[in-house]
Structure formats: C-alpha cells, structure tokens
Amino acid sequence: MTFQINKSEVDALPFDFAEAVEAHRLALIEHRQTGNATPTHDPRVEAAVRRVIVPLEEGRPDDFVADFEIVDDTPPPPTSSEQRAKLLRNIQVEHAAAAARVISPARARLLSMDVSRVYAKPAESRTPADDAIFAQHAAIQARLNALTYHTATLEVEIEELADDQLDSWQMTAFPAV
C-alpha cells in the first residue's frame, strides 16, 4: 500500500523528504550485500520505501522502491463571507480592547449597579455623591459611544467592500477617548 503523507508535514520536516527517501532506498539496496545492521531513518522515510520480494527462482535479491504520495492538505482560500467575518471579529476585539482602556469590565459593572441604585432613589433624596455617579456614568458613556460609533463605521465599510478589496482593507485605529 502506498504511503501517504500530508504536504504540510513534508514542508515542516528539517530535510528534503524525497531526497531522504531515495537515499534510504539506496542504503537498503546497498545493505543487501553487506550483512550489517539494517539502515534506519525517520519512520516516515522508512514507511515510504517498500520492499519488493523477488521469487527465489529468479535468483536475484529483493528490491526496494520508493512508494509514497504527498497529499496536498493546503486549506482552500477563505470565502469572501469568511474573510468578512474575520474582519468583523477583529473589529470587535479592537473595540473591546479600546473600551477596556476607558473602563475595565468590572468597573463598568460596578458603575452600572451604582447608577441603578441611584435611579431607584426618589429624586429629592439624591445626594451630591449620587449626582457624581450620574456625571461619571455620563462621561464614560460618551467615551464608549464614540468607540461604538467608530466600530459601526468600520463594520459598514466592510459591508460595502467589493470581494477583491477584502485582502487590502486596513482598519482605521480606534480613537483615544
């Protein structure tokens, strides 16, 4: 049975696979006459050399032949919808990173809970500290809204790109807010 090996595996080897197979095949042929220990090599190279048994009546030694197939396992190029999805994921990752520079997710949750607590109070019983929470929340929201607007702008750019422009599209940096 023909030995099959993936192209990606052959490309990762620190030696030329076809040359190594041929060298090992020749070493096995040469070994037939010596009686020394059988030559060894990388197991994949050994698997790519097949022994051909010659009937005794022919009066000659067995032969060794290279018997392998390199299977092209190169993944197909991504479709345009896959490329768009990747670009959109990259935008979301950058948006999250920019938002985290404004306020950490934990602090955002805490601020949101503080705002909810203040909203639950009657307006006349709110303190200056409560007003400061509202002001802090409004300032943070304004900064986050600027990032969200930038994200939406980038997403629309991607939607409007022609398929042949997907590879060359560059994300505009998120603003420092």
- The pLDDT value recorded for residue 80 is 96
pTM for the whole structure: 0.63
> How do residues 109-138 score in pLDDT, each as one tens digit?
999 999 999 999 999 999 999 999 999 999
Residues 40, 41, 46: CA angle, nearest 5 degrees:
90
Say if residue 33's pLDDT is above 80: no
Residues 119, 125, 130: CA angle, nearest 5 degrees:
55
Longest dimension (CA), the chain: 111
- The pLDDT value recorded for residue 36 is 83
Residue with tokens 């090992």, as numbered in its chain: 24
Residue 42's pLDDT band, with cuts at 50, 70 and 90, is very high
What residue ranges do the domains of the chain occupy? 3-71, 80-165
Residue 68's pLDDT band, with cuts at 50, 70 and 90, is very high
Please give the Cα distance from 126 to 129 (Å, whole number): 8
Give residue 39's identity as a one-letter amino acid code.
Answer: P
